[in-house]
Structures are given as structure tokens and as C-alpha cells.
Amino acid sequence: MVGITSYGAYIPLHRLSKATISRAWGGSPVPGEKAVANWDEDSVTMVVAAGMDCLKGFDSKTLDGLYLASTTFPYLEKQSAAIAATVLDLRQDVATIDFSNSLRGGTSAMKAAMDAINADSAGSIMVCAADARLGMPHGAQEMDFGDGAVAIMLGNDGVIAAIEGTYSIMDEIIDVWRPDNDTFVHSWEERFIREKGYNRVVPAAVSAALKKYSLTPQDFTKAVFYAHNPSLMTSVARQLGFDSKTQVQDILSAEMGNTGAALSLMLLVAALEEAKAGDRILLVSYGDGCDVLILRVTEDIEKVKDRRGIKGHLASKLELDNYQKYLEWRQIIHVETTLRPGPDQPSAVALLRDRKYGLAMYGVKCKVCGTPQFPREHVCVNCGTRDQFEDYCFADRKGVLITFSQDSSWAGVSLDVPVTVTAVDVEGGGRIICDMTDRDPEQVKVGMPVEMTFRKLRRVGGVNNYWWKCQPVRG
């Protein structure tokens, strides 16, 4: 039976408290916080991080597809799944598909992947979802929306949670939407969203799914509901007969916020982190309809308990106590930059030529002396042998900071000054020169452990220039 074979997740390091947002507008403190992507992160970079978490213990070359869902793709006309597949070093003959414009895109992608595997057109597919949505400043959605990503691998072998059944309905309603020419998400009146949308569609879909498979709420250990807020989820869960205290997965609105198309699958990962063999899980997503999936956990669940997942990323955080910086990172406000030449337009020719060595972060390893080195060279830095190398991937390796410099004069080129430029000695050999991100400049020191993270260097002329940076190892 087709099911989940691995999972991973990613939650940005930075957290913005809702009290900080409220104070910026002269309001009273509001409890909770939301996860905020750094200025050099987007849905693609977050998916790469979640995918790397999911791939622990797996060979990326065994995947036959990568399906990516988001409402905040960095390009309107260019496939993001192909970028992520390249960075994660998948084979070139895999299927890559973007699922866009829907908050239930993640579960729709899961259903499509399940169908492909059942039809024997694929053996293993990674389904990813990510979002970094924006609510209008000084609005409720600005408080509610958080950023994050998830990756779930599906296949027939080594299944940790079998998919026992699915049920879907579609529904055309203008409740939450974003026009093609707008940055911010819009929503209709709250009661209309609740009564004519969520409260009407979700109970109908779940009831029909339970009837189809002759199940009752008591047959489930955990119910995972997408919802705009906790009260909405709790009300519908109780209406359906689920115990909101013991059966229903917390939607983590106070810890990370509503992560859009990624939320339902991120909550599924949170449930799987606590699951044991024999548990049955109900997964419910919502957005212009409803997807319902029924899963049964197997004994192999214990094999994937080493992921950072949701728990690990929630525990690793850095407070962003400056609301103005958040507005700059999201480019909601623009400030005067230094009077220096701007960055050059990225070269499509160079990006194509270097996609394996830049995006997938391959260097080389000398066949004679075994010395890894980055970037690739024609002459070994250790033994001097010429053109005797094999490809060597640096992306998933940790390292140690051996020296660094911090420069505050890069304002306008980077939104996070001082820019920290580092030299890193990589475990297993090799040295990399790169920027450091997600760090407290005052805590950077020689000898600190670091790991590589895929980020956006800059965006010029509508082209994102992606590459790798290092960051302090997250717990």
C-alpha cells in the first residue's frame, strides 16, 4: 500500500512576537509569535531545507519525482520544483510539478503522487509545500501568517504511515484570496468565511469520508485539521465528534503562525513525531474545497524519529525584536541605500553552466590523494595532480568556522548588515568561503560549528541568484 516513507520540515529561525507588531501600531500586547523567513529566504529555499531534513538516510537519486505546492512561488512563469530538484540533486529524468494557487495544494500534490505510484509510473515521490504569505500591515492576517515548509516522501517500501483512503470535494467561494497583481492576501467578512465557508465544507467532507470508509471519530488517534484559527478548528472538530483535548492536533498558531499551503502537512509531521504503530490519523486540508486523507501508522515510524521536523525547529529560534526590519525584509518598505554601484544582472549563461556546482554545491575530490576541494579546480591543492578528480557534494556537510570578517558598508546590497563573510573548514576535508546567515553578529566566533544552508544572494532584474551560505548549527 502506498504511504509515507519519510518526512521533514523547516521553520525559519527568526520569530516575531505579535506583541512587537501590536506595539508598533500603538495597540495592546498580543500573545504568541510567528515564524519569519529571513530576507534571503523564500518558498524554494525553505523547501530545500525541508527536503534535506526528509532525505536523511535516503539517496536522492532514488526519487522519481518532486511535487511542490505553494501560493508564494518566487516566479509566476518558471517552475520552482525544477529548482528544488536540482538543488536536492535529484536525477534529471524525474517528474517535477508545481501545484499553485491553492491552500490545499499540499494534499492535492499528495493525492497526485499516490495516484502516480499506484499506476506504477513512479516508485517514490517527494511532496513539498512552502509558503511565506503577507497580510496587510496593521491587519489580522499580518499577525496570523507565518512562514514554513514541509517535505513528505511517498512510496511502497518502508512505509511509516499507509494511506488507507482519500476523499475530496471542491467548492467555489470568495473567502480568502490574492489577486494576481497584489502582494497581500485579502479576505471577506469573518462570519461569512466561517459560516458559508469552513463550517459548511469541512464537516460535509469529513462526514462523507468517514461514511465512505465505515469509520467513526473514535477510530482515530489524532485528527489534523487545517484552520484559519484555533477556535474555528475546535468548533468544527467538536461538531464532528472529536475530542479537542485528546484527539485534535494543535495548529501551532501561537508558535509559528498559519503557514498557508504548507500548514496541513506541517501539522501532519507534528502528529507523526508523536505517533506510534497502529495509530490512525485523519488529515483534513481546506481551500476552495476540502481534501481528507486517512493514514495508519506502522512500526517503521521509529526509523524516522531523528528528523529536526517540527519539534526541532520550534525549539531553535532567534527573536526578531524590530518590526521595521521585518517590513524591510518583506520589502513592504524601502529605505535609502548607500551610494555605491548595485549588483550586476545575473548571467543566464553562467547560471546554466554552474547549476550543478552552484545549486547542488558540488566540488571535487582528488582521485590520487583523496583531498576534497571547493570550488572545482584543474590542479589539486594538495598533491598537484592535474585533472584527476571526481564530483564531491558539500551541501549536507557541517564544518567549523576558521576565520571571518564583518562589514557594515554593504547596506543596499544586503538587508542584513553587517555582512559576515566566513572561511569554513568542512568535515571530511575542503574549505569554503561564503556568507553567514541566521546569526547574531556579536556571537560569531572562530571555532563555532556551522552547517550549509541554501539561500538567495540577491534578486536583480527579476532573477533570483541562489547559492549557499553557512549558518550556526541549529539544535
Burial class (CB in 10 A: 0-12, 13-18, 19+), 218: exposed
Provide the 3-class DSSP secondary structure of residue 210: helix
Cα-based distances in Å from 197 to 107, 174, 188: 19, 9, 10
Cα-based distances in Å from 304 to 219, 262, 327: 24, 20, 37
Its pTM stands at 0.96
Number of H helices, E strands in the chain: 12, 22
pLDDT at residue number 240? 97
- How does DSSP classify residue 258? B
pLDDT at residue number 374? 94
User: Could you read off the pLDDT of 320-358 as tens digits, one per residue?
Assistant: 999 999 999 999 998 776 656 667 778 888 888 888 888
CA angle 36, 40, 43 (to 5 degrees): 65
33-36/14-17 β-pairing: antiparallel
Is-contact 146 3, C-beta < 8 A?
A: no
Low-confidence ranges of the chain (pLDDT < 50): none
pLDDT at residue number 338? 63
pLDDT at residue number 335? 78
